[in-house]
Amino acid sequence: MARAGGITNAVNVGIAVQADWENREFISHISLNVRRLFDFLVQFEATTKSKLASLNEKLDVLERRLELLEVQVGNASANPSLFAT
């Protein structure tokens, strides 16, 4: 009877160990994927910032050019005799 109890204990321990390994594998898998997600987010942030910066620069240049054109057109319209010629 003592031998039968020892065997059952060993089997229980084996089952417990296997379950523990499965749990550890799951946890590592989840951690790895979360890290990938984090890396993606960091890269996306950098890309988006650069795009926004270039867009902002283009808008500034465009604004200045428009201001210059407005001034030139204003000067031209202020002298109607030139248009008449």
Partner 1 sequence: MTFDEVSMEHGKSFIFALQELKNLRPQLYSAADYCEKSYLNSDKKPMVLDNMKDYVVRALVNAVDHLGTVAYKLSDILEKQTFDVSTMDLKVSTLNQRLLTWHMYTDKEGLRQQQLLAFIPRHHKHYILPNPVNKKVHFIPHRKIGARQNSFQTRTRLHSSGTPISKTLSWHLASETKSTLKKQTSRTSKNTKDSKFYKKISGVFHLLDSEGSTRMKTSAAQPHLTNGVPTSGAATQTMGATGRDALKHSKPLTTYGSFDDRNGREAVQVHTRSKSVLSSFFVKQTAAKLKAGSVL
Q: What does the alpha-carbon distance between residue 40 and residue 56 come to, in Å, rounded to a whole number?
A: 24
Amino acid code (one letter) for 5: G
User: Binding of partner 1 at residue 21 (CB under 8 A)?
Assistant: no
Binding partner 1 (rule: CB under 8 A), the pick from 10, 32, 37, 42 is 37
Q: Which two tokens stand for residue 26?
A: 């799951």
Among 10, 34, 42, 53, contact with partner 1 (rule: CB under 8 A): 34
Residue with tokens 């989840």: 30
How many residues interact with partner 1 (rule CB under 8 A)? 27
E strand or H helix at 15: helix 2-78
Among 30, 32, 42, 46, interactor with partner 1 by CB under 8 A: 30
Q: Kindly compute the dihedral angle of the four CA atoms of residues 18, 21, 25, 28, in this order, to the nearest 10 degrees.
A: 160
Q: Is 42 in the site for partner 1 (CB under 8 A)?
A: no
How many residues can be counted in the chain?
Answer: 85
Site for partner 1, rule CB under 8 A:
19, 23, 26, 30, 33-34, 37, 40-41, 44, 48, 51-52, 54-55, 58-59, 61-62, 65-66, 69, 72-73, 76, 82, 85
